[in-house]
Structure 1
Amino acid sequence: MSSGARVPVREDESTARELRGTLALLGTATAVGSMGLAAGGTAGPLLAVQMTGTNAAAGVPVALNLAGSAVGALLISRLAALGRRGQGLALGFATGALGAAVVVVAAAAWSFGLVLAGSMLLGCANAAVFLSRYAAVVAVPPHRRGRALGRVLFATSVGAVISPMLLGPGGSLAAGIGLAQPTGAYLVAVAGFGCAAVVFWALAGRLAAGRTEPGAGRGLALAIRDPKTLPAIITLAVTNFAMVGVMTVAPVQLGAHGNGLEMVGLVVALHVVCMFGPSLVTGYLADRFHPIVVIVAGGVLLLAGGAVGMFAGEHGAVVMTVHLLLIGLGWNGGMVGGSALLSATAPVRLRTHLEGIGEAAMNVAAVAAAPLAGAVSVLTGYAGLSICFGVSAAAGLTLSCRRARVRGS
């Protein structure tokens, strides 16, 4: 009898080891892929300004990058619903690598239109980077969802932090072969996204998700409007709206004050550390207390970051750094809290669809934020831009949390 009792223990231990191995590979692949994130978010505005000669163009490639990310999120989540999550993520990374290569060719030909086309393809890899967090959620018990999300987002920080720090070396490499300096980030993206695509394709068997039952799509519109699900989607959208709006113009603002690519890359890297680094802690807090607690903290930090940003132009890089650190921490709170809330409230049979819709909502909001940020910065300066997006974030997250509390989610 005692010997028979050991078999399930060994099976449990084997399952746990396999799960840890899968999560480790998932985190590694996501970290490698996230090394390409600086191409669309940081190098894109710099390349646009250099090619067009106006700050108003800074948000255009970012907007198309985010539009591509929104479309990519829906396609990847559709494949996940068909039981092909790993293949969908691999396809997203591969499409992003192709987009980065298109931008490199466009920079060589000095074709801004082709840069925009490549930027849209590049967005598919961005969607794959962020949707990979949900691949971990489905493999853990409900009470550990926040920590699973946090693990993958923390792994993302490794590549995402390295990415902007490669702006300087990558720019030197690009200049050495006759390309505009910001193009170096796209060379990094080709390699990072390409490697991630290979790893996720190899992991496809381990990341398979159950097929969505027939007819589930017919209830999708109702699920989106569900009072328990909608606050999570609003949270994700508002959080990304605020962060992208600020970060569309922040690299240009840093450069305008005499900071080279190395300094810009360092400050952005610190911002990215705050975006992803606290995820282990915020994921635990979402499990231990409630995702709304984490969302509220994110809203407060985004508002504080907006207020500090009002003085960035007067006091230079130090205040600018503090401003972007607060924005990064606020984004982390909204992202982890919103993702945990969505995982907890989404109907199981619609979860993969809603993951994609949540991601698409983030990117649609950011598509609006990016060109708006360029225009607002021209009209009001960086101070007006900063406080505008900070107040918008605080108001939007407050509304989201009130809806969630009223409905008892």
Structure 2
Amino acid sequence: MANLEGGGINNNLDDEEKLLNEPSGIHHHHHQQIISLRHVVKVFLLFIGITLSSLLLYHSSNKNPLQFFPNHSYKHAPSFVSDSNYVNTNGSAAGNLLHGYNSRTANVSKDKKQKSKLEEVLEKAAMGDKTVIITTLNAAWTEPNSIFDVFLKSFRVGNQTTSLLKHVLVACLDQTAYSRCLEKKQVHCYALTTKDVDFSGEAHFMSDDYLKMMWRRIDFLRNVLEMGYNFIFTDADILWFRQPFAHFYPDADFQIACDHYWFDSTNLDNSPNGGFNYVKSNERTIQFYKFWYKAREAYPGKHDQDVLNMIKYNPFIKDIGLKIRFLDTAFFGGFCEPSKDLNLVCTMHANCCIGIGNKMHDLTMALDDWEKYIALNGDEKMLRPQTWTVPRICG
């Protein structure tokens, strides 16, 4: 009978000693069993180790959120990240897609002096509710008697729009544009220069410089939102004829004009145009602009408007609760789809038009149409339908 006082370990040792003292045949049989058991354990542990290593390699390969972007397909674009990686900074979905944003953009963020300068200009330009009208310009668009002059003139001849000029902030992409902006005195000017990049010349549509300008603009507007300011962004090739505020939706975060307004204001199948939008500063819009800017990496060679058309269906938009509205071309028209009633129009955009010369030609004609319209008395405006003579070269 085994000695119980020795405990389990000593019993096992005694058993092994007995095995050594048994006849060689019995000893050999039991020794093989022990070796076989140890071999099985080693093989099992090796299998577990290989399996765990494979799983780690698999999951690490899925950490790049950009691989989940589609290469094409607008409406049926898959998620930016897989559901398993969908962790948001506020506890819901999509945190990983923004993880790389802050780390990569930290190196190109404005220094404190430049940021305080922007804050100073924003404060001076802002309306009572911290809304600023923002446009971006380079030297080519600020040439004398060019786009910038027509843009400013539209405010002066528009219906109750002159007072809005003091809320216009011009983000100048080069030193020449900044100097010319300062000469105007009616608006606020900010030097939005980019190190080692020359934006002074005409950036032809979809050229490398054009794409850099468009994406620089998106990142700048994100910065404005982070400072707590709402903005109406307007391209400088937009004529302002009436104040737009009555036609904005009070419950929306992001409102944007359209090349073509096909459906109601909430339908994502509308064709947005990034040249005119009204954006409220909140956590949703800040996250959206980060998402939009980062999406350029997934769609190389695309400009901001094309990328917007691709990401507007992305589940991230719903996840952050962003409320998007599309603005009716009856009020916010353009050469793609002119507003039909001059009694309603607020803005006219030289979209569907390439080249400064072509834009200038048709914008000047549109301004003439407006001045003829406002020269009519009240009855004539209502009884005599007024139509545009544009687009002529554009469209």
TM range, normalised to the smaller chain? under 0.3
Radius of gyration: which is bigger? 2
Q: TM-score, normalised by structure 2?
A: 0.27
- Structure with larger RCO (C-alpha < 8 A, sep 6+): 1
Richer in helix (by share): 1
Richer in strand (by share): 2
